[in-house]
Structure 1
Amino acid sequence: MTIEWQYTSGEDFGLLSLAGYLGSEGAHRFSGAIGWVLARGTGPVVVDMTGLRGWSIEGQLAVTEAARRLMAHDRTLELAAIPADGSLVPDGECPLITVHCDLAAALAAHGASDLADDGRQDGRTSGWPT
């Protein structure tokens, strides 16, 4: 089992929405999505985890690695609606990761009420739920 992703660019940030399970298989796909986002966007990246059914240690490590990759490009990683089955425990080398309780709070923090109206869907995996 793996993840599907969709990226939407906002005015000052990007929204990477995930669906599925972020485990060892999904970690590779997530890393690829972060590479895709790095090549096409600017500003902070909010990862919407509303559609995740869960995540493993490998998935959590992929998230902390993504924060490092983004930091190397002067960008930050933020999480919205982390899975209830665990909290992110970054190591001491990980940059600060802002965690929002849900997507609405993350969007409000960036002054956007709904990217479905304000942003544009820039890319997604072929299995993204419609």
Structure 2
Amino acid sequence: MTIQWHYTTLDGLGLLSVSGFLGADSVSRFGGAVGWVQARGVGPVILDLALLRGWSAAGQEAVTEAARRLAAVGRPLELAAIPADGLVVPGDSHPPVTIHYDLAAALTAHQVSAEDPSGQQEWRTTGWPDNGVPATA
């Protein structure tokens, strides 16, 4: 199974939510989502992993690569709700990645509300329903 993603531009930042399992077979799709994010919005990008069932070493490296890609265009990556199976900590050659306990903490840190729809734009994969709960395979 591949991942599904949902991207929302908020006031001065982007929110990329991912569901499914981020493994070697979904790295390309995740990279495409990061490319979409690069081209749209401004400011930091919060990667919400609350709906991610897990990730492999390849998936973790894809997140590290996303941090590099986004940093190259001046958009730091922050993680919210990392999976319980841990995170490969980027080395000194990678941009710093802020980790938040959950999405609420990340949004609070930026004094942003996801509930305020003014100025928001959204994009999602076709497998991500309108109610924000990912489709199950």
The TM tier, using the shorter chain, reads over 0.9
1:84 matched to which residue of 2? Answer: 84
1:46 matched to which residue of 2? Answer: 46
1:109 matched to which residue of 2? Answer: 109
**Percent sequence identity over aligned pairs:** 59
The answer on whether the counterparts of 1:79 and 1:98 sit within 8 Å (CA) in structure 2 is yes
What is the Cα deviation at residue 25 of structure 1? 1.6
Size of the alignment, in residue pairs? 129
- Which 4+ residue blocks in structure 1 deviate beyond 4 angstroms? none
Which is further off, 89-98 or 57-66?
89-98
Map 1:70-81 to 2 at 5 A: 70-81=70-81
TM-superposition CA deviations, 1:67-101 (whole Å, max 9, x none): 11111111100000000012232233110000000
5+ residue gaps, structure 2 = 132-137
- Structure-1-length-normalised TM-score: 0.93
Which is further off, 100-109 or 88-97?
88-97
1:128 matched to which residue of 2? Answer: 128
Distance 1:66 1:21 in 2: 16
1:64 matched to which residue of 2? Answer: 64
Map 1:10-25 to 2 at 5 A: 10-25=10-25
Q: What secondary structure, in the 3-state scheme, does the structure 2 residue paired with 1:50 have?
A: coil
- Structure-2-length-normalised TM-score: 0.88
Q: What secondary structure, in the 3-state scheme, does the structure 1 residue paired with 2:49 have?
A: strand
